[in-house]
Amino acid sequence: MNASPIRCLVSAGPTREHFDPVRFLSNPSSGKMGYALASAASKRGWHVDLVSGPVSLPVPEGVELTRVVTGQEMYNAVSERFDACDILIMTAAIMDYRPKSIADHKIKKFELEMLIEMEPVIDVLATVARRKINQLIVGFAAETDHLEEYATKKLENKKADFVVANLIGGPAGAFEKDSNKVLVLRKNGQTIALGPLTKVALAGELLDLFEPELIRKVASKSADPGGTNAEAS
């Protein structure tokens, strides 16, 4: 049983959006960064809930795992656990769109273009962040170019305290790799470069960055259990 009062909620891996029983839209996220963060947080004595899309990774020791497949399932699981957490770390690569309907049979190739209409998947991070009281919010941004520019927009639009940004695609891309290098953007305007490091080592460096602000927030919550110091969304 973890003695620390810190409750950490991590999302990891890809999501899948089926358009028939055998085919789906997804992405190559391995979940390694999220699992490394969950493991590192647990080793610090934090209580860790890990909400994971479909990956083939061992469950980190001491972590409570919830498996999901779709973006809606990811939202449901994260939303259910958000109010109780002190820090939300959203590493999951959630699909932006899904088919409007799922066929109960394999769609024939010639039918695909005619039958598949798309609709947006709920924005998990932005939606739960609107309920933010005193939680530390960490988003992840995976981009092919204009990394700092797009990450800055995400920091502002998603009401995050930190955004961890990395490049994907090409030989330097982070998907499915065991190492990564990132830019960490803070709400106060600070930008910090980390890596290249293994994802296990990077997880420790990231938690070192988050922890001072997190401890301050947890202490503030303990001193103000009625929530009179709640943050504006």
Nearest to 64 by CA among 44, 79, 42: 42
pLDDT band at 168 (very low <50, low <70, confident <90, very high): confident
Give the pLDDT score at 227. 55
Q: Which residue has the tokens 């969950």?
A: 38
Q: Which of 2, 27, 76, 134 is catalytic?
A: 27
Instruction: Specify the pTM.
Output: 0.90
CA distance 115 to 102: 10
pLDDT tier, 4 (very low <50, low <70, confident <90, very high otherwise): low
Judging by beta carbons within 10 Å of its beta carbon (0-12, 13-18, 19+), is residue 108 exposed, middle or buried? exposed
Residue 229 pLDDT class (50, 70, 90 cuts) = very low
Q: What is the pLDDT of residue 219?
A: 87
In tens, the pLDDT along 79-104 reads 999 999 999 999 999 999 999 999 99
Band of residue 171 on the pLDDT scale cut at 50, 70, 90: low
- pLDDT of amino acid 169: 65
Task: Give Cα 28 distance to the centre of its chain.
Answer: 15
Q: How far is residue 118's CA from residue 190's CA, in Å, rounded to a whole number?
A: 38
Q: What is the largest CA-CA distance in the chain?
A: 63
pLDDT at 220: 81
Indicate whether 161 pLDDT > 70: yes
Supply the pLDDT for residue 23. Answer: 92
What pLDDT score does 1 carry? 43
pLDDT given at position 75: 99
Q: Does 180 qualify as catalytic in the annotation? A: no
Tell me what the pLDDT averaged over the chain comes to.
90
According to DSSP, the residues that pair with 65 across neighbouring strands are 50
Domain 7-223 has CATH 3.20.20.70: no
Q: Is the pLDDT reported for residue 193 higher than 60?
A: yes
Look at 5-9, 90-94, 229-233 and tell me which has the smallest mean pLDDT. 229-233
Counts of helices then strands in the chain (DSSP H, E): 6, 12
Q: At 56, is the pLDDT very low, low, confident or very high (cuts 50, 70, 90)? A: very high
Tens digit of each residue's pLDDT (9 = 90 or more) over 19-31:
899 999 999 999 9
